[in-house]
Amino acid sequence: MSIHILFIFAKNRKENGQAERRRIKYNSCKRKVSGCELWKGMDIDMDSWSNVRTDLALEARESIGEKESGLHGVAVEERYDEESDVHITRVVIETKNGARALGKPMGTYITLEAPAMTEPEEDYHQEISAILSEEIRSILANPDKEQSILVVGLGNREVTADSLGPNVVDNLFVNRHIVMEYGKVAYNRTKMHLVSSLVPGVMAKTGMESAEIIKGVIGETKPDQVIVIDALAARSTKRLNRTIQITNTGIHPGSGVGNHRNAITEETLHIPVLALGVPTVVDAATIVGDAMGERPATLKELNNMYVTTKDVDQQIRQISHIICDGINGALNF
């Protein structure tokens, strides 16, 4: 149904040449409008889609740019790695005004856009992992100092699009237990980070907030900092499973899909928190906007519907290995 609606909107808009705002209400099942069949109950206001959710600071910054508003207190640096075809954008929110304008906490947000990240090409994945390692080290607190680091994989393992965090942790190199038992000589090393991992699951299964579980583990194991991995929501379909965001501001689990949970940040955990995420879902209103080439403001029936790709299981496996290799490389002296 949704796929048909996309092209119906785009076709009608193009044929009728309407640039003004338009509201269409369909009250009867499969009522024909301009030669197109649509489903009952769609109430659509077409002008902009500022209320479509996104976890990406880059997209928040782009949405402000579309409104032609000045970005005070926000610094943006872009570069392109031609050899690996990766576009890297660093957004630094320096002031409270900038944070308010973008709707994101103050801090640094690094975005890696790799259009071919979903392709099953192992050599290319290793190139992305190498770039990811460099960017993680650039934002990690005291990367050259030996530290105890807790890596947390957020998400629901049984929901494929939300299983990125657990899949990354499954393949991570963890060594804290070995080093504490046998020392660094077990790895023939004189200097290395102590790496441990945690998959807290979801509150529906545990009855506890992820932040509560993480705090309890931190209280026992005393890590120096936390790295959190989670699936995100995007505003643009072109970034679906093709973008990695790294930030030192922590994370608010579920915020991208309107399911707000307790924040996992330096303020709540009292140690530095580095968050990595990949957008694995988009709001259905995003797809309508892409098909029309403009931004619908209120698509109430679609704003609570989230869409992912049909081969998301394979893509999650690939991306989890890319991120895992990137973290392993960043934490290796």
Q: Can you give the C-alpha Rg of the chain in angstroms? A: 22
pLDDT at 71 over 50: yes
- Which amino acid is located at 83 in the chain? E
Q: Which two tokens stand for residue 200?
A: 């807290």
DSSP 44: E
- 194, two tokens: 């102590």
Residue carrying structure tokens 């392109």: 80
Tell me the pTM.
0.79
Give the N- to C-terminal CA distance of the chain in Å, as an integer.
Answer: 52
Residue 25 has pLDDT above 60, yes or no: no
**For 18-27, 79-88, 296-305, 311-320, which range has the lowest pLDDT when averaged over its residues?**
18-27
Task: Please determine, for residue 41, whether its predicted confidence score (pLDDT) is greater than 60.
Answer: no
190 or 3, greater pLDDT:
190
Token pair 């990354």: residue: 168
* Per-residue confidence (pLDDT) for residue 259, from 0 to 100: 57
- Give DSSP secondary structure letters for 133-150: HHHHHHHSSSTTS--EEE
Distance of CA 311 to the CA centre of its chain: 18
CATH superfamily of 55-283+318-330: HybD-like (3.40.50.1450)
- Domain coordinates in residue numbering, the chain: 55-283+318-330
Query: pLDDT tens, 214-228?
Result: 999 999 999 999 999
**140-155 pLDDT per residue, tens:** 999 899 999 999 999 9
Pairing of strands 43-46, 36-37: unpaired
Q: Report which of 50, 142, 143 is spatially closest to residue 102, judged by C-alpha positions.
A: 50
Query: In this model, does residue 270 exceed pLDDT 90?
Result: yes
- What is the amino acid identity at position 26? Y
Which of 4-13, 70-79, 113-122 has the lowest average pLDDT? 4-13
Candidates 330, 324, 326, 329; CA nearest to 171 is: 324
**pLDDT at residue number 238:** 84
- With the C-alpha atoms ordered 268, 274, 280, 282, is the resulting torsion angle positive or negative? positive
In three-state secondary structure terms, 274 is strand
